[in-house]
C-alpha cells in the first residue's frame, strides 16, 4: 500500500505542478484503532510555484483552490491543504492539523517546513479552542451513537478519544498525542474502566464485529460524568497569547524560497 500512496503523491505533484512538503496517515490507523476494513486516510501539505501566489486573486478564491482532493474509494482517501491554508489553520489551533503533526505514520517529508512548524507550536497553542473542539466532538458523537439500551459500541472510541484528549489538555496544558493507546495509558487509572476499554480495543483491532450490543455501563458512566465535568472546566479557561502571524509569514516565505530556489 505504501508504494501505491507514494505513486499517488508523485502523480499529484506532476499534475498540479506543486511540491508536497509532508504527507501522513490521519485516520483510525494513526489513532491506533483501525478495523480490518479501515481505509487509508492520507493527508498532505503542499506548496505552489511562486508565480501562483503573485496574482491579483487570492488563494482559495475561484479557480485558485487551496485544497487538492482525489476521488475516494474503499481503500484510499487522500487530500491535501495548500501551505498558506495550513498555516492559517495552524494559527487557529486546528486540531486535525495538529494531529497530522503527531502522526507516527509518515509517508513523505521533505524540506525544513514541518520541523520549523513544529517548533512554533508553543507560540500558537491555545487550550480554549482545542479543548472546545474535542469536547463538542465527544458530545456530538455521544448524542448520535450512544443513546438507548443497545448501541454501536465501536462508536465508544469516537467519544472516548476526544474526552481523553480534553483530559490531557487539562492535565498538561499542551496538545494531546494522536495515539489512543498513549492517552489510555496516561489518563485512565488501573481498574475496571481501563480493563473494559482495553478489551474493547483488542476486539476492534482483531476484527470482531462490534455492531449493536448492550451498553457497557462503566464506560457509559465515565463518558457522561466527564462530559458534564469538562463542560464546567472549559468555562474556567482563560489564556492569552501573542499574534504569531509574523513568524508564520516568515515561515511561508522561507519555504517558498527553499523549495523553488
Residue 74's φ and ψ, nearest 5 degrees, are -65, -15
What lies within 8 Å, CB to CB, of 35 at 6+ separation is 28, 154, 204, 205, 207
How far is the C-alpha of 187 from the C-alpha of 164, rounded, in Å?
Answer: 7
Residue 139 has pLDDT above 80, yes or no: yes
Q: In what order do the strands lie in the sheet with 76-82?
A: 67-69, 76-82, 40-47, 19-25, 106-109
pLDDT at 36: 74
pLDDT at 240: 76
Residue whose C-alpha cell is 509517508: 107
Mean pLDDT of 34-38: 79
Q: Is the dihedral of CA 189, 166, 145, 90 positive or negative?
A: negative
Least confident range of 10-19, 199-208, 214-223 = 199-208
96-102 contacts, C-beta under 8 A, 24 or more apart: 96/26, 96/43, 98/130, 98/175, 99/26, 99/30, 99/178, 100/22, 100/24, 100/26, 100/43, 100/45, 102/175, 102/177, 102/178
The pLDDT > 90 percentage for the chain reads 77
Helix, strand or coil for residue 76? strand
Tens-digit pLDDT profile for residues 185-206: 999 999 999 999 999 999 888 8
How far is the C-alpha of 84 from the C-alpha of 86, rounded, in Å?
Answer: 5
Residue 165 has pLDDT above 80, yes or no: yes
pLDDT band at residue 23 under the 50/70/90 scheme:
very high
Q: Tell me the range of 77-81, 150-154, 236-240 where mean pLDDT is highest.
A: 77-81
pLDDT at 37: 75
pLDDT at 254: 98
Instruction: Look at 249 and 59; give whichever has higher pLDDT.
Output: 249
Instruction: Look at 47 and 126; give whichever has higher pLDDT.
Output: 47
Residue 255 has pLDDT above 90, yes or no: yes
Instruction: Look at 237 and 83; give whichever has higher pLDDT.
Output: 83
pLDDT band at residue 137 under the 50/70/90 scheme:
very high
pLDDT at 107: 97
Residue 96's φ and ψ, nearest 5 degrees, are -60, -40
Mean pLDDT of 140-148: 93
174 and 125 Cβ atoms separated by less than 8 Å: yes
pLDDT band at residue 92 under the 50/70/90 scheme:
very high
Amino acid at each position: 500500500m505504501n508504494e501505491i500512496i507514494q505513486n499517488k503523491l508523485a502523480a499529484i505533484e506532476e499534475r498540479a505542478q506543486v511540491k508536497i512538503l509532508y504527507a501522513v496517515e490521519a485516520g483510525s490507523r494513526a489513532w491506533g484503532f483501525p478495523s480490518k476494513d479501515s481505509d487509508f486516510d492520507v493527508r498532505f501539505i503542499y506548496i505552489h510555484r511562486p508565480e501562483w501566489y503573485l496574482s491579483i486573486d487570492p488563494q482559495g478564491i475561484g479557480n485558485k483552490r487551496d485544497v487538492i482532493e482525489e476521488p475516494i474509494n474503499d481503500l484510499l482517501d487522500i487530500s491535501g491543504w495548500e501551505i498558506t491554508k495550513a498555516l492559517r489553520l495552524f494559527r487557529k489551533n486546528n486540531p486535525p492539523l495538529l494531529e497530522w503533526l503527531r502522526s507516527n505514520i509518515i509517508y513523505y517529508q521533505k524540506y525544513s517546513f514541518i520541523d520549523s512548524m513544529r517548533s512554533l507550536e508553543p507560540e500558537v497553542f491555545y487550550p480554549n479552542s482545542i479543548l472546545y473542539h474535542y469536547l463538542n466532538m465527544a458530545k456530538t458523537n455521544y448524542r448520535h451513537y450512544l443513546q438507548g439500551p443497545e448501541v454501536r459500541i465501536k462508536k465508544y472510541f469516537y467519544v472516548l478519544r476526544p474526552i481523553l484528549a480534553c483530559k490531557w489538555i487539562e492535565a498538561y496544558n499542551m496538545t494531546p498525542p494522536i495515539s489512543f493507546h498513549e492517552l489510555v495509558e496516561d489518563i485512565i487509572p488501573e481498574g475496571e474502566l481501563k480493563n473494559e476499554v482495553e478489551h474493547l480495543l483488542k476486539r476492534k483491532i482483531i476484527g470482531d464485529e462490534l455492531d449493536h450490543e448492550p451498553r457497557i455501563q462503566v464506560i457509559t458512566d465515565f463518558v457522561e460524568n466527564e462530559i458534564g465535568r469538562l463542560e464546567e472546566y472549559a468555562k474556567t479557561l482563560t489564556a492569552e497569547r501573542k499574534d504569531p502571524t509574523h513568524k508564520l509569514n516568515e515561515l511561508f516565505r522561507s519555504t517558498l524560497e527553499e523549495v523553488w530556489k
